Every structure is written in C-alpha cells, then in structure tokens.
Structure 1
C-alpha cells in the first residue's frame, strides 16, 4: 500500500480528531469556604482538598481585597489531600466592605473563591431606612445585611407585613429591628412567631434581644433573593385611625365653610 493510500485512509480520523471539542481539564484543587458572606469578627473557614499530594510541597494561600493583600499563609496538606484553615476577620486590613477573594496555590495549580464581607458589627443594626407605610407616612427601621443590599421597605397591609425589596447574588443574612408599634406578631397578648417568606419559600430566622418596643430578628436568605416578606398579626400606620378621622373631619368642615362663603 503506497503512501498516498495511507494518507487518504488516515485523513478522516485526523479530521475527526481536529474537529472534536476540547475537553477542559478538571482543576486538581477543590476550594470552598464555610459561608458565602461574613461580618466583622467572623472566622472565615477555608477548606478543600487536592487530588494528588506532592511530597515536600506546601500550599500557599492569600486573601485579597481588590489588589490589596489582606493576609498570607503557608501550610502542608493532610496525607489524604484535605486541608482547612481558619482566618480571623477584623483589624486594620479588614476595614473595607465588599467582595474578597481567597486564592490558593499548590504545585503548578491554583484556584480562587470569592466571598462577601461587611466591616460592621453583626450584632446590631448598622443602617436605618425610611419605611413607606403606603398611606403617606413613614417610619424608621434599623437593619444590617450581609450578602446583599436593601433597596427599600414598604408596609404591605393586605398581608399585615413589611416587604423588603433587595438585591442578592449570594446567600446571606438580614437583621431587622421591627418596631412593635408598626408591626408585631402576638397571640392573646404573648409574642408569637413571624412568618418570613422569600417568594413562596419559607425562611428560617432567629429572634434576638426582644424588647418592649422592638423585636430583633436575623433572617437567613438564599442566593438570588429579591424580596423578603415579614408577616405579623398586625401592622399599624404612622397615622392611626383616630388621626385619620380627625383629618377627614377637619377637611369636611373646611370644605363646608368654603361652600358657605361661595354660596351664601
């Protein structure tokens, strides 16, 4: 068989090989964190594994905020290829809120993971927002959030609730200081649980530091949450029924006097 025939026979296989899609190689390092978002004072637990342990090789790790190096570390992986490190947040290098990156190098390979960090105390509200009561009034509500941003809050009278409109690419937590005079959940005078929803999905929450005027709750929300509805047993507008009645009566009296002047 001459060379021309061999080339013609090999051509289809060669063309097929050249046209096959490239298969991406799997990264030999697996990297994760225990959460997607953190607040001031939280420990960031970094963990993962390597597919092959390299004798005498140490893993290099950096935590970055934009182009700034927050911390560096170097350590050996376990015999089974696993690793875990605990990084304490706080201090002068952790003064900015935003997206942070943890990156590790092992041999010739590297991998990174992003997490959100809020450089504020997680145990108390860090911001205040003006809540529209839907009837021309407003009231202030304290909150803190990690893993997202709050756009606005409004009273939902139909559901006896407060609606939180927000943006979140990652999961996180929302702290709300709920003023009892505007929203509460009670049964026969005793505190009962709120119902908290993201769409149709019930959300878990923890209540902390309930006081005579405020109920403080922490709500954990999943990635992509755009609305959180906190449902109670009563919502009260800034202007109560008596005030609304007085305004209505005053308006009627003024209108009557105006008609009297125009049409004596």
Structure 2
C-alpha cells in the first residue's frame, strides 16, 4: 500500500492539483467527467470492459431491494441500457431501461417481491447496450410466497466536506441509516457512521479525486533528491481495504470507471462503522485554507515586528 503523508500545509497527496469546478464549491461524483483524466487520476479507458453489471449482495430474501450497479465503456447518444431479470426457471420476471450517466456508470434497483418472485434458486441479470454489447450477473434468491413484502431502502446523497470542497456522495442503504461520513486524511480513510436495525448493505459512489487505491510505484532512490512526484494516473488500481466494526471484510463488490469507484458493502445488524482505506486521499485542509493560514501567520509576524508585540514574556 502507498502511504504518502501530506505536509502540514498540504495539497492532495501524490502532488495532485485540486479540480477546478465551474459550479463553484460543489463537486458531485458525476461532475468529474468534466475534468481531464490527467487531472483526476483514474484508469485507462482501454482497460475497462465494454459492459459491466454487478449486484450489491450475492443472496436476497423476499421483499429485499436488489441494487444493481454497472458501467458502459463506450457510451452512445440517447442509447439506454436494458436490464432483464430471469428466475431459476429461465422465465423473465422483470425488465427495465435506463440511460447511463455521462461517465458511463449506472445504478438501478429491483424489488424482489410479488407473484413472480416465488421460486428459489439462482437468478440472472442480463444487461444489454446497443445491438452487440451484453453481459450478465447472477445472484441467489431464497424464494417467497408471492406476497408484496417490501424491505425499505434509502436512496440519498451525503454532502461530505473535505479538502476545501463539498463532495456529494450518492448512496443506497438497506437495513439502516447513515449518521455521518468523514475523511481521516492521516489514515487515508473514509469513515462512515451507521445506525443499523437489520442485516443490509450500503452502495456508495466515490469520486477518485477524493479517495482512491493504487498499486505502489517502483522504488525510486533519487525521488527524495529530485523532488519527483508520483502521477497516480499512471498507476494500476489496487483494492480498497474495507473494515466493518474494525474487522476487515472481503465480501464486497465494486464497479469502476475512469472517474468513480462504486462499492457495495454488506453489514450486520448492530454494526455502526465502516472504514474504507485507500492510498490517495484529499487533505483535511484544502489550498484555500492553507493560504488563509499562511496569510494569518505572516500578518501576525508583521504586526508583532512593527508594534513590538511579544507572545512570550521577556526575561
């Protein structure tokens, strides 16, 4: 894991420059499409699969909300993604169409409820984009009696303040609510506080210029002498380290593109905290805050020099 500590008055680690936002101080996960890849980092488009589709959990019960995330590599104007759900008997039981976001990512929910959701077994989601691009994903359904039972899911956005910007983080949570999200810059961690009342999951869309995970670069003995900085856009993606209530978990799914990484993380009733650890993160104080602090220090020095003001007693 790359652990590059930021200076006391720091720009983002790895020498990243803050993204200019034409809308002011608001940055959403999907606004990142407006930035060049060499500004935001990310991965090469050529490494992405043409079409990806995932579910937030491997198994569902009657009444559950199934959260589907995906990505289209080569988007076409006004072309929708078609999602079809087939039960264990190969019968189609649900269908939906949706336009992917400008960056190619998409999220859709299905309710596992009603008369068509009876048979237990392995179900298949078939995603199709255009005439020739398709893929699928499977999950297990534990079966039901056909009644219209619904387990509540919350689809919302959290405004996270960090690095002098506001990041609006879209999320879908089942089995609880989100109390807070916060950046722990020294630990390269996004911390999420939860109130849970049942087993569930949370699906988050995380912008890469806020938090990312990269494979360490090759050793460079001359880096300290030359002041060379690592360009994260040239590094291979690594897996986030995710822990729930302090215990590391590996059973989570991810959908990603050049600009965002979408994580679906399961949790149990009673869990109260999720930590997502990366290797690149925005600092606690952005460049504007650093500038204000520097001006304040210079002003204090200038005033004290001019007036003879002392902060320590003279002996």
- Paired residue secondary structure (2:294): helix
Change (3 A) 1:161 1:261: same
- What's 2:242 paired with? 196
Match of 2:112 among 30, 43, 53: 43
Q: How many residues align?
A: 164
Q: Is the 8 A contact 1:160 1:235 kept in 2?
A: yes
Change (3 A) 1:232 1:250: same
Tell me how far 1:42 sits from its aligned partner: 2.0
- What's 1:207 paired with? 254
Change (3 A) 1:263 1:34: same
- Is 1:224 matched up with 2:270? yes
CA deviations on 1:171-194 (whole Å, 9 max, x unpaired) are 111111112112111114111111
CA distance in 2: counterparts of 1:155 and 1:225, whole angstroms = 19
Q: Is the 8 A contact 1:171 1:221 kept in 2?
A: yes
Gaps of 5+ in 1: 1-32, 49-82, 90-101, 103-114, 121-125
CA distance in 1: counterparts of 2:306 and 2:157, whole angstroms = 47
RCO higher in 1 or 2 (8 Å CA, sep ≥ 6)?
2
CA distance in 2: counterparts of 1:175 and 1:36, whole angstroms = 18
TM-score normalised according to structure 1 size: 0.52
For the aligned residue pairs, the C-alpha RMSD in angstroms reads: 3.2
CA distance in 1: counterparts of 2:299 and 2:159, whole angstroms = 32
- Is 1:246 matched up with 2:291? yes
- Is 1:186 matched up with 2:186? no
Match of 2:187 among 142, 151, 159: 159
CA deviations on 1:42-97 (whole Å, 9 max, x unpaired) are 2135689xxxxxxxxxxxxxxxxxxxxxxxxxxxxxxxxxx84345x7xxxxxxxx
- What's 1:34 paired with? 61
Q: Is the 8 A contact 1:34 1:46 kept in 2?
A: no
Q: Is the 8 A contact 2:241 2:277 kept in 1?
A: yes
Q: Is the 8 A contact 1:36 1:147 kept in 2?
A: no
Gaps of 5+ in 2: 1-59, 67-108, 121-142, 218-234, 310-315
Say which is worse superposed, 244-253 or 170-179, in terms of deviation. 244-253
- What's 2:199 paired with? 171
- Paired residue secondary structure (1:140): strand
- What's 1:258 paired with? 303
CA deviations on 1:17-45 (whole Å, 9 max, x unpaired) are xxxxxxxxxxxxxxxx8267425522135
Change (3 A) 1:201 1:163: same
CA distance in 2: counterparts of 1:194 and 1:180, whole angstroms = 12
Change (3 A) 1:84 1:177: closer
- Paired residue secondary structure (2:283): coil
TM-score normalised according to structure 2 size: 0.45
Q: Is the 8 A contact 1:185 1:234 kept in 2?
A: yes
More strand by share: 1
Q: Is the 8 A contact 1:205 1:220 kept in 2?
A: yes
Tell me how far 1:128 sits from its aligned partner: 1.6
- What's 1:150 paired with? 178
Tell me how far 1:216 sits from its aligned partner: 0.9
- What's 2:151 paired with? 116
- Paired residue secondary structure (1:212): coil
